[in-house]
C-alpha cells in the first residue's frame, strides 16, 4: 500500500527491526540515497529517542514508528519551530479524523488526549547558512497498544474502543503530513500558528508548572517565533526554552 501523496512516503523503506528510524534516515541522507519525503518505517524500534534524551518505548507491531526526510530550505533557522507546528498539526489531523476530537498538542511536540500521551515527535535539523537544509521528522504514535508501563500514556485504540488498521492509518498520517508541509511551504505560517495555538494543551488556562525546581502558577499565552513557550506568571510575561520548564500533570 502507498499513500496518495506527491512525495511523502513515495520512497518507503520498511525495516522489521531497527534501533532508531531517525538514525536510519540520517544514514540514507549522508549516502545521498534519499529523495524528499523518503520514509523509514519499522514495527520494532529498539532504541527510539524522545525530547530531552528520553527513550521512546512501544510494543512491536502495534504502533506507528517512522521517520520522514524533508528538505525545508524555505524555513529560516530562526523560524524552525514553524516546521514543528506543521508536523504536529498533521498528526493531530489524523487523530481527529479517527474520532479523537479532544486530542491536543502538548508543547513542544507531544500529542495528548486529556492528560495522557498518545505520541511524540522528534525533529532533527541540519542547517545551511540561514535556512534548514534537511530535517528528519521522527514520529511515534500509540495506535493499537492497550497497556503501558506508565499511567500517563494511552493509545488511539484505547480511546476509540477498537483496533485500527495499522497500514491504512500510517498512509493517512503521511497524507496529512504532506498537506500541512505544503501549507507551510506556501507561506501560510500565520494560519498554522493560529491552529497550533487553538490545539495547544492547557492554552490560556491557569495551571501548575515547574520552573527552577519549584512549582509556579501560570497561564500559557502563546509561542514565540523561536519556539519558546510564553507564560504569564504573577502578571509577568516570561519565555521558556524546552529544558527550562515542565508541566505538572
Paired sense of beta strands 12-15 and 39-42, if any: parallel
Cα(82)–Cα(195) distance, rounded to whole angstroms? 12
**Confidence at residue 92, expressed as pLDDT on a 0 to 100 scale:** 98
67 neighbors 139 (Cβ within 8 angstroms): yes
Pick the CATH number of 205-247 from 2.60.40, 1.10.20, 3.30.160, 2.30.30: 2.30.30
Tell me: pLDDT of 57 over 70: no
For the chain, give the mean pLDDT: 94
The domains of the chain are located at 12-199, 205-247
Q: Identify the band that residue 49 occupies on the pLDDT scale cut at 50, 70 and 90.
A: low
Percent of the chain at pLDDT > 70 equals: 96
Please identify which residue in the block is written with the cell numbers 501548575.
208
> Is 205-247 in the same CATH topology as 12-199?
no
Tell me: pLDDT of 52 over 50: no
Cα(159)–Cα(148) distance, rounded to whole angstroms? 14
* 81-97 vs 166-185: helix crossing angle, rounded to 10: 140
User: Which grid coordinates are listed for 175?
Assistant: 497524507
Name which residue leads in pLDDT, 46 or 73.
Answer: 73
pLDDT tens per residue, range 102-112: 999 999 989 99
Cα(2)–Cα(8) distance, rounded to whole angstroms? 10
Tell the burial category of 198 from Cβ atoms under 10 Å away from its Cβ (0-12, 13-18, 19+): exposed
Q: Identify the band that residue 43 occupies on the pLDDT scale cut at 50, 70 and 90.
A: very high
Domain at 12-199, CATH class: alpha beta
197 neighbors 191 (Cβ within 8 angstroms): no
pLDDT tens per residue, range 163-222: 999 999 999 999 999 999 999 999 999 999 999 999 999 999 999 999 999 999 999 999
Paired sense of beta strands 131-141 and 206-211, if any: unpaired
User: Which grid coordinates are listed for 52?
Assistant: 530531552
Amino acid at each position: 500500500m502507498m499513500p496518495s501523496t506527491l512525495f511523502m512516503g513515495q520512497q518507503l523503506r520498511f525495516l522489521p527491526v531497527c534501533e532508531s528510524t531517525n538514525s536510519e534516515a540520517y544514514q540514507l541522507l549522508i549516502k545521498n540515497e534519499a529523495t524528499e519525503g523518503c520514509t523509514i518505517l519499522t514495527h520494532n524500534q529498539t532504541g527510539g529517542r524522545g525530547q530531552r534524551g528520553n527513550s521512546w518505548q512501544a510494543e512491536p507491531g502495534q504502533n506507528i514508528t517512522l521517520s520522514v526526510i524533508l528538505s525545508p530550505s524555505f524555513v529560516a533557522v530562526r523560524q524552525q519551530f514553524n516546521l514543528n507546528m506543521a508536523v504536529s498539526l498533521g498528526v493531530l489531523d489524523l487523530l481527529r479524523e479517527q474520532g479523537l476530537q479532544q486530542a491536543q498538542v502538548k508543547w513542544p511536540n507531544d500529542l495528548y488526549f486529556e492528560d495522557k500521551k498518545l505520541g511524540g515527535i522528534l525533529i532533527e535539523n541540519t542547517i545551511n547558512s540561514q535556512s534548514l537544509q534537511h530535517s528528519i521528522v521522527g514520529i511515534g504514535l500509540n495506535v493499537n497498544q492497550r497497556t503501558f508501563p506508565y499511567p500517563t500514556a494511552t493509545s488511539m485504540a484505547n480511546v476509540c474502543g477498537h483496533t485500527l488498521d495499522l497500514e491504512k492509518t500510517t498512509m493517512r498520517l503521511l497524507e496529512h503530513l504532506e498537506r500541512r508541509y505544503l501549507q507551510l511551504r506556501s507561506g501560510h505560517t500565520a494560519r498554522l500558528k493560529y491552529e497550533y495555538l487553538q490545539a495547544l494543551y492547557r492554552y490560556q488556562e491557569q495551571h501548575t508548572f515547574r520552573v527552577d525546581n519549584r512549582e509556579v502558577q501560570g497561564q500559557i499565552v502563546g509561542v514565540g517565533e523561536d519556539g519558546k513557550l510564553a507564560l504569564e506568571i504573577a502578571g509577568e510575561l516570561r519565555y521558556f526554552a524546552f529544558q527550562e520548564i515542565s508541566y505538572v500533570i
